[in-house]
Amino acid sequence: MDCTVFLESHWTKTFVRMARSDPSFYTSLFPESDLEYALSKAADDARSIKILDAHRPFRSLDRYADAQSAYRSGNSLRLDGIQRFSPKLMLLVRALERELSCFTGINMYLTPGKIGARALPKHYDTHDVFVLQVRGEKKWRIYTPPTVFPLEYVPPIRGEEDELLRIKKQVAHQCLRDASQISDEFTLKAGDLLYLPRGYWHQAESVDANVSCHLAIGVRPYTYLELLTVAIAQVAALNVNLRKPLPTGFATLKGCPASVRESVAGILESLQTQIDPDKALAEMAEIFSSRVLG
């Protein structure tokens, strides 16, 4: 598929599967020797290797021997950020980041030959994913409707804990998961590719007694929420109303005071002339380029 056609027709919009008749298509990108090397090196980096089971919370491993034992016992393994241990995958990540202006990382999923094995329950990701089936096969189920553009990053409220955010997300999305219905089912074979925009509910499982290995390339796009957050922060140095404190004791008040509504209305009106999208975009581009392009 032509890159331009993909970006215009599928990128951030709908999933697409590319089937190939060449099972060795990704062998040069990620040979078996690189897999062994990555697993042994990742074991030295705490929390890089996870044991996955759709029916239990994942747990981290910090010894190569433990990873081998877990795998031989029939567990799936995930190696987070595998590009750190593979020059070829790092070059791929850097090329995608330059092309898409998105932070990118690669996780590797290794599932032993166990029919019906599921590493994760039905879920969606908050980032776009390219699935490269390197070895073996996996059956995929795609569900609709997708959760449209779920956020990976939300500016934190002072005093809010990460654990609380996680629980809120689980509760809020439980009903969405239960309401989604299967819309497509197919088997990815070695050499095939699947693109999933963020928000598409999906589930994958082993289909035969052969080992399955796939790479999940996670692409994390910036959002307009982040752009506006930067833009408003830039304006805050000039707009004193943005820096004013909320009413004393607001947390115990019932309802929103009229003074707050009036202040917000005035701030929103002033922001229309003060916010500079070009300046905000330039700051984000500078930060991204310094991290990715050097």
Mean pLDDT of 278-293: 92
Domain ranges of the chain: 3-221, 225-292
* Nearest alpha carbon to residue 12 among 215, 180, 200: 200
Digit-coded pLDDT (tens) for 186-245: 999 999 999 999 999 999 988 877 889 999 999 999 999 999 999 999 999 889 999 999
How far is residue 211's CA from residue 229's CA, in Å, rounded to a whole number? 45
How far is residue 256's CA from residue 157's CA, in Å, rounded to a whole number? 18
Contact 197, 102 (CB under 8 A): no
How far is residue 260's CA from residue 262's CA, in Å, rounded to a whole number? 5
For the entire predicted model, the pTM comes to 0.89
How far is residue 293's CA from residue 129's CA, in Å, rounded to a whole number? 22
How far is residue 218's CA from residue 106's CA, in Å, rounded to a whole number? 6
Contact 71, 110 (CB under 8 A): yes
Mark 216-247 as b/e (b = at least 16 C-beta within 10 Å).
Answer: bbbbbbbeeebbebbbbebbeeebeebeeeee
How far is residue 133's CA from residue 108's CA, in Å, rounded to a whole number? 10
In degrees and rounded to multiples of 5, residue 261 shows phi and psi of: -60, -40
Q: Pairing state of beta strands 181-189 and 103-111? A: unpaired
Please tell me the predicted confidence (pLDDT) of residue 14: 94
Digit-coded pLDDT (tens) for 121-168: 888 999 999 999 999 999 999 999 888 898 887 777 777 666 666 656
Superfamily covering domain 3-221: Cupin (2.60.120.650)
How far is residue 98's CA from residue 292's CA, in Å, rounded to a whole number? 8
Does residue 72 carry a pLDDT above 70? yes
Q: What percent of the chain has pLDDT over 90?
A: 56
Dihedral sign for Cα 130, 131, 133, 139, please.
negative
Share the mean pLDDT of the chain.
88
Does residue 277 carry a pLDDT above 60? yes
193: Cα separation from own chain's centroid: 17
Digit-coded pLDDT (tens) for 41-55: 887 776 788 888 767
In degrees and rounded to multiples of 5, residue 8 shows phi and psi of: -80, -35
